[in-house]
Amino acid sequence: MIDYSTFLQLLSHHANVPENWIETLKTQIETALQPQKNKDILIWEEVLNQLPQAHPSEIVLHENIIRIGTGNDLKQNEKNHLMVQLRRLHPWRKGPISFFGVYIDTEWRSDMKWNRLKDHIDVLNDRLVLDVGSGNGYFCWRMRGAGARLVMGLDPYLKYVYQFAAMQKYITDPAVQVLPLGIDDLPSNLQCFDTVFSMGVFYHRRSPFDHLFKLKSLLRPGGQLVLETLIVEGEKGYVLVPEGRYAKMRNVWFIPSPLTLESWLKRAAFSDIHLVDVSLTTTQEQRKTSWMEFESLPDFLHPENNHLTIEGYPRPRRAIFLARRP
């Protein structure tokens, strides 16, 4: 089983973290990783055990590609075995990542999103950071590379947790972890994180205000929210509520206009609200690859008009908002 003990110990030493929360986290993690609840855990544990033993000659977390070692650190047969094991963790959605020269061309060029926000956010040096819906932890590593003191990722989808564990096997940085939990597993009013990221999560939540208030409750006073989400062009008050699927996704509940989302942030009593980026999602940023062989953005767009989704809605457009807990 993945060992979270050192990370939790580091977390417990943070001045703003409630003492009794650490014991709760231990119990929640143990419950989530019980093979009785998900038989695939045994497969993913086997993958971790089968990864070749190696000591990377370099670790690079501050560039577009997370690089773990170089191609010269492994023999060719070891590299081949590494690739076989990593493919057992398909699909790889966030990246790109290089394991000893094995390049994982992920579905999302997540570096493009990071580059859109990194120069606008508060400097992460020495900060306690939370990444909600972190997936395999690509952004967690970029946050650590930007100087964060401690980074906690949350994702209840366990295959992504084990993808992160595969990276952590070689990076071995106890100050970064992806926990097998969701935001609802965290107590309200923690008020301990310096920065909270919610990227690609907001539109999957049934209640936008519940999510905003929960995010605010996790921030210390003066802490910063980084909110990245789908938006749609329109006036203040306009919200798209898809009938059925949006871009083939079942669980998209609402897509607000930027002015609407700004008003929601104000209503949730955030301050210092800034829209720092609006970008149309392109097939250079999201697409099918050999490491993610399922449908992707080109399959989600209308075949006769790529300005629309296959259902006839405006194609995905994403915004990044910054806000602060007063």
* Chain segment 208-231, per-residue pLDDT in tens: 999 999 999 999 999 999 999 999
**Helix orientation angle between 19-32 and 5-12, rounded to the nearest 10 degrees:** 160
Specify whether the CB–CB gap between 258 and 275 falls below 8 A.
yes
pLDDT of residue 17: 93
CA distance 158 to 142: 21
How far is Cα 195 from Cα 44, in angstroms, rounded to an integer?
31
Beta bridge partners of 179: 154
What stretch of H or E contains 154? strand 150-154
219 forms bridges with which residues in the sheet? 193
| Domain around 186 | 5-324
Residue 274, pLDDT score: 98
User: Above 90 in pLDDT, residue 158?
Assistant: yes
pTM of the predicted structure, to 2 decimals:
0.97
Element (H, E) at 180: none
Total count of domains within the chain: 1
Tell me how far apart the alpha carbons of residues 286 and 28 are, in angstroms, rounded to a whole number.
33
pLDDT tens per residue, range 276-316: 999 999 999 999 999 999 999 999 999 999 999 999 999 99
Residue 192's identity, in one-letter code, is C
150-154/128-132 β-pairing: parallel
Instruction: State pLDDT tens for residues 28-78.
Output: 999 999 999 899 999 999 999 999 999 999 999 999 999 999 999 999 999
CA angle 182/186/191 to nearest 5° reads 130
Which residues, including other chains, have CB under 8 Å from residue 72's CB and lie 6 or more apart? 57, 101
Q: Which of 279, 286, 274 is nearest to 224 (CA)?
A: 274
Query: How far is it, in rounded angstroms, from Cα 75 to Cα 295?
Result: 34
Assign 19 a pLDDT band (cuts: 50, 70, 90).
Answer: confident
Q: Is the dihedral of CA 2, 217, 210, 262 positive or negative?
A: negative
Q: Indicate the DSSP class of residue 312.
A: S
Per-residue pLDDT tens over the stretch 223-277: 999 999 999 999 999 999 999 999 999 999 999 999 999 999 999 999 999 999 9
CATH of the domain at 255: 3.40.50.150
DSSP code for 254: -
Amino acid found at 313: Y
